[in-house]
Amino acid sequence: MTDQLARQLTQRFYRYLAVSSQSDAKSTTLPSTPSQHAMAELLAQELREFGLQNIVIDQHATVTAVKPGNRPDAPRIGFITHIDTVDVGLSADIHPQTLTFNGDDLCLNTQQDIWLRVAEHPEIAPYHGQEIIFSDGTSVLGADNKAAVTVVMTLMENLKGDHGDIVVAFVPDEEIGLRGAKALDLDTRFNVDFAWTIDCCELGEVVYENFNAAAAELVFTGVPAHPMSGKGVLVNPLLMAHDFISRFDRLATPEHTEGREGYIWFNDINANASRAVLKASIRDFDLQGFDQKKQQLVEVADEIAALYPTGHVSLTINDTYSNISNAIGEDRRAIDLIFAALEQVGVEPKVIPMRGGTDGAALSAKGLLTPNFFTGAHNFHSRFEFLPVPSFVKSYQVAEALCYLAAK
């Protein structure tokens, strides 16, 4: 049965990967790319074939459906996954392959000489002897999050026995600010008692704590002048931006922090002689630390404005998502059931504070507690992303166990 399930999951995963559905952070539409509509249409059609009810696909490429239960006294539960893959400058087209790892370096692409070196990626070592799914090295694999889409869709096809109503949602543009989840109507489209996301994370990982996140944009307006007569007149917006950045701790950045340490990450600048636009990401698990980081940006912006009185500094800060743990109240069923499901299928839990966010963060902020559990994959947002097939199977088994345990 496990071998049959592994084949079913792998074949469906390959089919979904064949539909390119990369999101685009520069776009202001929802979805950000037309290809996500194609992915949504494919899922909606399959859900019809599975006999689900209340299938809705909207103009935003969000798909919701209900698998009716036979236990009217059971809680109404939900699963939410995202259909977009991330744009990190690699190919949008994914060409998956399944290789057996025997401890040696793996050639992902002979033509381009792309190798996964074990010495550089020791995280692969525990999967000796297993079948593992990779891309061909020219793209991410897309397990983030089509592995989860595969798990939920396969569950909707296979699930039998006693369970309550199960609502599924497939949303666009998670990778660019959880846009799809933020637009999801919980009253009419995803009206459940509690829910789960399945996203990222190696075998056994459980997330109910993630970053509070915000995005900042600073605009430095200088005073252009010809350098022959610039003394006392010219104000260089690039130097304004440089002076701004220099006032922050160089070690409080993503490349120097881990665990529950937060950071401010200056990650984009566009400048000329008149104007510089600087962007930053703000992250912290603790709300007090999160607010302090935002306040620091305000205070330094005021300092730079005072330093360049003939220039101008403007700052906007917008919250992106919040910590799932902010929404934890007395009802912890969604969290407790994950641990019960892991125990049932024989997987050791690994609770981690996620240094990122999931769609569950957006739903939890709306009052719907939505913790996350693993797909089994590693190295997200990388050409070396990989998914061990046995871990993929375990992700499915946890999802299946949740449906039955919730009904009890």
CA angle 62, 324, 245 (to 5 degrees): 95
DSSP letter at 382 equals S
In terms of Cα–Cα distance, which of 168, 170, 176 is closest to 29?
176
Tell me the two tokens of residue 27: 């776009």
The phi, psi pair for 78, rounded to 5°, reads -140, 155
**Active-site residue, 84 included:** yes
Instruction: Give the Cα separation of 56 and 60 in Å (integer).
Output: 11
Torsion sign over Cα 81, 84, 89, 91 = positive
Pick the catalytic residue from 165, 173, 174, 385.
174
The phi, psi pair for 339, rounded to 5°, reads -65, -35
Are the C-beta atoms of residues 81 and 197 closer than 8 Å to each other?
yes
Instruction: Give the Cα separation of 133 and 152 in Å (integer).
Output: 18
Q: How far is CA 389 from CA 2, 227, 325, 360, 378, in A?
A: 10, 63, 30, 25, 12
Are the C-beta atoms of residues 81 and 144 closer than 8 Å to each other?
no
By the 10 Å C-beta count (0-12 exposed, 13-18 middle, 19+ buried), 252 is classed as: middle
By the 10 Å C-beta count (0-12 exposed, 13-18 middle, 19+ buried), 113 is classed as: exposed
Report strand pairing: 350-351 vs 205-207.
Answer: parallel
- Residue length of the chain: 408
CA angle 165, 167, 172 (to 5 degrees): 175
In terms of Cα–Cα distance, which of 147, 146, 311, 287 is closest to 220?
311
Pick the catalytic residue from 84, 144, 173, 385.
84
**Active-site residue, 113 included:** no
Report strand pairing: 194-198 vs 114-116.
Answer: unpaired
Tell me the two tokens of residue 148: 């989860």
Are the C-beta atoms of residues 241 and 314 closer than 8 Å to each other?
no
Q: Reduce the DSSP state of residue 99 to 3 states and report it.
A: strand
Positions marked active-site: 84, 174
